[in-house]
Amino acid sequence: MKANRRRDKKSLGRGKNVWLESEAIHAADFTRNTNHAMKTTEDAAYCTWMCLICGYVYDEAAGSPEEGIPAGTRWRDIPINWVCPECGARKDEFEMLEI
């Protein structure tokens, strides 16, 4: 019986190391894929968003300096409590325009 227990402990130990190695490989792949996704998102073309209530257009490339939003500010980086400067509509009342 003692020999069987020893063998079981060895196989458990070996299995644990294999699991740790595979998790490390998986984590490296995830990091590499995440970094790639982040780069492509940042390099994406600027978008234009239009208020569905009044037609105000927010251009990410131009920003909205009058409202304190510098040029190059992405839509996702504008605070959730921001409202349309023309009619006061919330961000969820805007839609991305395809140009």
In 7-97, DSSP assigns E strands to: 48-51, 57-59, 94-97
Number of domains in the chain: 2
Judgement on whether residues 38 and 54 belong to the same structural domain of the protein: no
Angstrom distance (rounded) from CA 75 to CA 45: 12
Residue 41 confidence (pLDDT): 52
Domain hosting 12: range is 1-44
Q: What is the pLDDT of residues 2-50, one digit of tens each?
A: 555 555 555 455 554 544 454 555 555 544 544 444 444 556 899 999 9
Residues found in the chain: 99
* CATH number (domain holding residue 60): 2.20.28.10
Residue 66 confidence (pLDDT): 92
Judgement on whether residues 34 and 56 belong to the same structural domain of the protein: no
Helix residue ranges per DSSP H, 43-68? none
Which of these, 51, 83, 87, lies nearest to 67 by C-alpha position? 83
Give the three-state DSSP class for 86. Answer: coil
Judgement on whether residues 11 and 31 belong to the same structural domain of the protein: yes
In the predicted model, is pLDDT for residue 89 greater than 60?
yes
Q: What is the pLDDT of residues 46-81, one digit of tens each?
A: 999 999 999 999 999 999 999 999 999 999 999 999
Judgement on whether residues 32 and 58 belong to the same structural domain of the protein: no
Judgement on whether residues 93 and 53 belong to the same structural domain of the protein: yes
Judgement on whether residues 30 and 59 belong to the same structural domain of the protein: no
